């Protein structure tokens, strides 16, 4: 065997070992446990799931994910990221998971991995409490309705408006901005998920009221989002197991009741809408 042949064999062997090592280490859950932390992204302007109270992060999402991280045995690191930057940032590895409540859709399932549902996400409508003209969802025909940009609720509102014969849809960076315009009379209604709007009306009944019925469109769910690759499967399974345990011991129920005022039993497996 020549020196050249020996060197080539050594290099090939080293490359093979590196590939094996890379495969062995390509496990997101193992990496998270080794780091001792889960780096998350959410938009902290999505009451009651995510909010800043005098600069302190709180909400239903935080309470749920604190418990999930505890079950996994690591510390959560929470980052306030604009909604439109969250999924692109996840794809390029800026964080481990998006914990903003993301509506599960068939389109998103092709691109991302979802956890089991964390809440009902069925799109609904809220109006000014003083507005007696609008009662049922179809009354928004010809009206101006606000909604957060880039959300599944935005797409459902667009489709529903078209089915009615026309609705002017105004997009907002955050739901707080839409609520402010509704309170100021610049909008006729705001579309969002039922939990968000229920919380809003519960805390500001003098300003806002739900339509009756509030919901339109097909039932849907919120979940958290991971990258769609084999490396993420162990992490997804750990979250699924944690949620199942928290559901069984009553922690999920207690957190829902704290923030939403009621409990909705949710599927314990990822759901395709």
Mean of all residue pLDDT scores within the chain: 90
Residue 31 pLDDT > 80: yes
Query: For the packed helices 194-203 and 251-260, what is the interaxial angle rounded to 10 degrees?
Result: 50
Compute the distance between CA of residue 18 and CA of residue 221 in angstroms, rounded to an integer: 41
What pLDDT shows up at residue 218? Answer: 85
Residue 134 pLDDT > 60: yes
What pLDDT shows up at residue 261? Answer: 84
What pLDDT shows up at residue 6? Answer: 43
What pLDDT shows up at residue 43? Answer: 94
Mean pLDDT, range 240-249, rounded to an integer: 98
* Residue 46: its H or E element: strand 45-46
What's the helix, strand, coil split of the chain in %, to 5? 45, 25, 30
What's the pLDDT band for 156 if we cut at 50, 70, 90? very high
- Give the CATH H-level superfamily of domain 123-215: Periplasmic binding protein-like II (3.40.190.10)
For domain 28-119+220-260, which architecture applies? Answer: 3-Layer(aba) Sandwich (3.40)
Where are the domain boundaries for CATH 3.40.190.10 in the chain? 28-119+220-260, 123-215
DSSP state, residue 28: H
What's the pLDDT band for 273 if we cut at 50, 70, 90? low
Please tell me whether the peptide bond between 48 and the residue prior to it is cis, using omega within 30 degrees of 0: yes
Mean pLDDT, range 2-30, rounded to an integer: 51
What's the pLDDT band for 9 if we cut at 50, 70, 90? very low
Residue 23 pLDDT > 50: no
């Amino acid at each position: 065997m020549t020196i050249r042949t020996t060197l080539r064999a050594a290099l090939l062997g080293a490359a093979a070992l590196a590939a094996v090592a890379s495969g062995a280490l390509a496990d997101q859950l193992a990496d998270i446990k080794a780091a001792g932390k889960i780096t998350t992204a959410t938009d902290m302007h999505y009451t009651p799931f995510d909010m800043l109270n005098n600069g302190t992060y709180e909400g239903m999402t935080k309470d749920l994910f604190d418990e999930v991280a505890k079950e996994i045995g690591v510390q959560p690191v929470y980052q306030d990221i604009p909604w439109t930057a969250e999924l692109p940032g996840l794809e390029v590895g800026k964080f481990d998971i998006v914990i903003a409540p993301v509506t599960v859709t068939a389109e998103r399932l092709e691109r991302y991995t979802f956890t089991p549902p964390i809440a009902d996400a069925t799109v609904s409508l809220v109006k000014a409490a003083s507005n007696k003209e609008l009662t049922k969802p179809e009354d928004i025909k010809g009206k101006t309705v606000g909604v957060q940009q880039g959300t599944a609720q935005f797409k459902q509102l667009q489709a529903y408006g078209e089915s009615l014969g026309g609705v002017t849809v105004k997009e907002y960076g955050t739901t707080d901005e839409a609520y402010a315009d509704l309170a100021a009379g610049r909008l006729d209604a705001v579309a969002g998920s039922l939990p968000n709007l229920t919380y809003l009306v519960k805390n500001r009944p003098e300003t806002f009221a739900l339509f009756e019925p509030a919901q339109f469109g097909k039932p849907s769910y919120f979940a958290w989002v991971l990258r769609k690759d084999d490396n993420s499967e162990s992490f997804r399974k750990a979250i699924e197991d944690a949620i199942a345990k928290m559901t069984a011991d009553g922690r999920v129920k207690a957190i829902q009741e704290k923030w939403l005022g009621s409990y909705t039993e949710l599927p314990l497996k990822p759901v395709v809408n």
